Amino acid sequence: MWFGMGYVSHPRIIPDTVEERKYQMALAKDCLKADTLLVLPTGLGKTIIALYLTAVTLQEGGKVMLMAPTKPLVEQHASVFSELLLDTRIGVMNGLMKPETRKRMVNESDLIVSTPQSVANDLENGMYTMKDFGLVIYDEAHRGTGNYAYVTVARHCDGNRSVGLTASPGSDIKKVEEVCRNLGFVRIDVRTEDDPDVAPYIHDTYIKTIEVNIPRELLNIIDILKGLLDHYFEELTHLRLTRENWPPSTTHMLMVGESLQKRLRRGEKSAVLYRGLTVQAICIKILHAVNLAETQGVSSLRSYLMKLNADALAQKGNKGGKELVARKEYLEVWNFVLNSRMEHPKVSKLMSLVSQILKSDGSAKVMVFTQYRDTCDILVDKLSSIDGAKVGKLIGQSKGGLRQKEQIGILDEFRNGTRNVIVATSVGEEGLDIASTNAVIFYEPVPSEIRTIQRRGRTGRKNDGEVYVLIAKGTMDEVFEKSSKRKEDQMRSRLEKLNRELLLSAGDGQMKLGDF
């Protein structure tokens, strides 16, 4: 039962530790009735709902399997549950353990918290079964598509109560439908900050867009790159490889590349095919360079061109790269970025913003999100020069990044105030329990509504927060911002429609998923 004195009361939950929220009670009760995909923005307590469902299941005599995509998330969940649950043996598993160790842990534990790949491998190898698990929880459930490990685990679940947690499954209803089908969800429950039962528990988040103008010198460089792009795009058009009336966008080029790769796999060996592959690869490189120049600045562009130069000089460098770096237009761009110390106007605007926030509140915390690691390094360096700024970097593991223990260490420093500014790539968007911030700053908008919602959810959790979005006028920044807003507006109505279809399908068996 839920105790009406401000805290949750349950025999398996430590008394006076978990705040009672009515919307969480309602969501938890509904999840107990049917396998549910639960959509709740960051900061509204998905973990607490999972905790209550776990307590109920344990009290009923069943085990619980809680899976999360990364080891830091697994450790985070295990820490929270160990602090709040009574009389519960918790086993934490990952892929570094021997399968026999994981098998013993499953046998000896009431609650297993694990990365999904470990569980999927064990189940496929017959190390144990899911028959004793009364509840299976999929954190970041929107990942449950294709051949992701969640899908494998779900195939081994028969009659297990299942719950999926996500801040945003996205507006692509076919993908959400696939998640529900793969993981066995028969209903979708959605809450946002605007719902009447949620509103009393949240703080306001104020969203402000800040536009900047690109300097003339940088515009000239962008024009040179776009002229070079037009040259190669025209060649693709003459080869009859492009779609009529489509601009030379990254999406268009990826479709051209996919089509050419299919022809290659079928065994075609024509001059048109090979030249098309080379030109398409060159177009992709130029498009990325244009995007960096428009939205990131000279330093990021310089880093990228240095990589192109190195690849072209390598003995096994690709043909397209060698051709591109030999073009006089490319050399003109390279000479400019090599000698220029110009930075994107976003940099000075960001420094000014962070400085103002820290000066206005000595205990303020700021999170800056950026798309690219090179930009992340540049911003850490620039922001570190601000008085009172104690800046940390949060990036992923790949290609010499931060190990997961280092990521956790940075977040701990952010919580305890050793750091007050974090510059993060996408690793900071998903799931991790980041201390409530006074402000979140998007160095650039992202076209994904999932990532936008996750980024925004890093503020306004314990007090009012502000979100700033930096936009370079006349660039892809504007396109991405509009795209994200449109997808977010579409998401709830599409989820509600899909939920109706799921309930109808479960109710009478006559309507199948996809019949809408």
Please give the CATH superfamily to which domain 205-213+344-478 belongs: P-loop containing nucleotide triphosphate hydrolases (3.40.50.300)
Alpha helices in 239-318 (DSSP H): 250-265, 271-295, 298-313
Asked if residue 496 has pLDDT above 80, the reply is no
pLDDT tens for residues 239-254?
999 988 888 999 999 9
Phi-psi domain of 198 (left: phi exceeds 0; alpha: psi -120 through 50; beta: other) = alpha
Q: What amino acid is encoded at 44 in this protein?
A: L
3-state secondary structure of 490: helix
Asked if residue 514 has pLDDT above 60, the reply is no
Domain 22-197 has CATH 3.40.50.12590: no
Average pLDDT in the chain: 86
Q: What are phi and psi of 377, to 5 degrees?
A: -60, -45
Q: Residue 325 has which token pair?
A: 């770096």
DSSP 120: H
For residue 113, what are the contacts with CB-CB under 8 A and spacing of at least 6?
66, 67, 68, 74, 77, 78, 81, 90, 91, 92, 93
Range from 4-13, 141-150, 249-258 carrying the lowest mean pLDDT: 4-13
Which run of H or of E encompasses 211? Answer: strand 205-212
Is the distance from CB of 351 to CB of 406 less than 8 angstroms? no
* Residue ranges of domains in the chain: 22-197, 205-213+344-478, 216-339
Instruction: Write down the pLDDT at residue 290.
Output: 96
Q: Output 180 or 484, whichever has higher pLDDT.
A: 180
Domains 22-197 and 205-213+344-478 are alike in CATH topology: yes
Q: How far is CA 304 from CA 287, 374, 475, in A?
A: 12, 9, 19
Instruction: Write down the pLDDT at residue 405.
Output: 81
For residue 447, count other CB atoms closer than 10 A to its CB.
15
Please give the CATH superfamily to which domain 216-339 belongs: hef helicase domain (1.20.1320.20)
Range from 174-183, 191-200, 431-440, 451-460 carrying the lowest mean pLDDT: 451-460
